């Protein structure tokens, strides 16, 4: 199995668990899975990543590129960017939930703790992004033997209010690369800017 497919299957499973965990709208109405990936519109111009689907921009390194395959095959994905070297990237999923980013974070943590082998939360912080509170957490997990020479991975996850929904920004890399790129991931996330006119 290819490394991207292994990560994709875990993220997909966790995404579906998140949908089930916080899948209630107002007055107990069941939430449907919002599959926006098919119509996702994303582009990088210079160092500006523009997501027309979820109406936001990020500043990314100039050698990064969009990953349309991951978006096309991941439930609720609205965007994905990747570094030129394999195994490093950011997946963005959007859920039209009427819950707080903190409630979404708690549900995602539960889902990831069940979906990622060797899950171990390293840290959690409350960030301010676009003037809003954005909970985040970082965790370690074990990768299957066929991926990246069985290097363990790390993921930095941030839940951001995005219009009337929640945007999950998941920054992932093999552990040695992650430690080197962690500040880059945080700069990218902190550059988030929402604009309904995009």
Domains along the chain with CATH numbers:
3-39+64-180 (3.40.1000)
Question: Which of helix, strand or coil describes residue 106?
Answer: helix
3-state helix/strand/coil string of 76-101: CEEEEEECCCCCCEEEEEEECCCCCH
Q: Work out the end-to-end distance of the chain between its first and last CA atoms, rounded to an integer number of angstroms.
A: 37
In this prediction, residue 15 has a pLDDT band, given cuts at 50, 70 and 90, of very low
Mean pLDDT of the chain: 81
pLDDT of residue 146: 65
Helix (H, G, I), strand (E, B) or coil at 11: helix
Burial 126-143 (b: 16+ CB within 10 A, else e): ebebeeeebbbbbbbbbb
**pLDDT tens sequence across 38-63:** 567 999 999 999 999 999 999 999 99
Q: C-alpha angle with apex 108: 15 to 48, nearest 5 degrees?
A: 75
* pLDDT at residue 109, as a whole number: 95
Provide the pLDDT for residue 158: 98
Q: What is the pLDDT of residues 157-194, one digit of tens each?
A: 999 999 889 999 999 999 889 999 999 999 999 999 99
The DSSP 8-state label assigned to residue 24 in this structure reads: B
**pLDDT value of residue 6:** 34
Which pLDDT score, from 0 to 100, does residue 198 have? 86
**What pLDDT is recorded for position 66?**
94
Q: Provide the pLDDT for residue 19.
A: 33
What is the model's pTM? Answer: 0.81
Environment class of 191 (CB within 10 Å of its CB; exposed 0-12, middle 13-18, buried 19+): middle
The DSSP bridge partners found for residue 171 are 90, 156
- The pLDDT of residue 2 is above 80: no
Question: Which tens digits make up the pLDDT trace of 146-155?
Answer: 655 567 899 9
pLDDT of residue 14 exceeding 50, the answer is: no
For residue 132, the model assigns a pLDDT of 93
Name the nearest CA neighbour of 10 among 136, 161, 153, 123.
153
The residue ranking higher by pLDDT, 12 or 116, is 116
């Amino acid at each position: 199995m290819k490394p991207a497919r292994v990560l994709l299957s875990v993220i997909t499973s966790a995404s579906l668990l998140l949908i089930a965990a916080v899948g209630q709208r107002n007055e107990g109405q069941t939430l449907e899975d919002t599959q926006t990936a098919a119509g996702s519109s994303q582009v990088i111009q210079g160092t500006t990543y523009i997501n027309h689907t979820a109406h936001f921009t990020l500043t990314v390194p100039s050698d990064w590129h969009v990953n349309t395959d991951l978006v096309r095959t991941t439930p609720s994905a609205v965007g994905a960017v990747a570094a030129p070297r394999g195994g490093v990237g950011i997946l963005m999923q959007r859920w039209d939930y009427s819950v707080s980013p903190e409630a979404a974070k708690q549900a995602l943590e539960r889902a990831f703790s069940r979906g990622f082998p060797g899950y171990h939360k390293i840290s959690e912080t409350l960030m301010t992004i676009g003037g809003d509170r954005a909970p985040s957490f970082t965790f370690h997990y074990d990768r299957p033997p066929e991926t990246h020479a069985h290097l363990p991975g790390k993921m930095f996850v941030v839940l951001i209010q995005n219009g009337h929904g929640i945007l999950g920004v998941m920054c992932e890399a093999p552990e040695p690369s992650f430690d080197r790129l962690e500040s880059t991931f945080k700069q990218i996330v902190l550059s988030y800017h929402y604009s309904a006119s995009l």
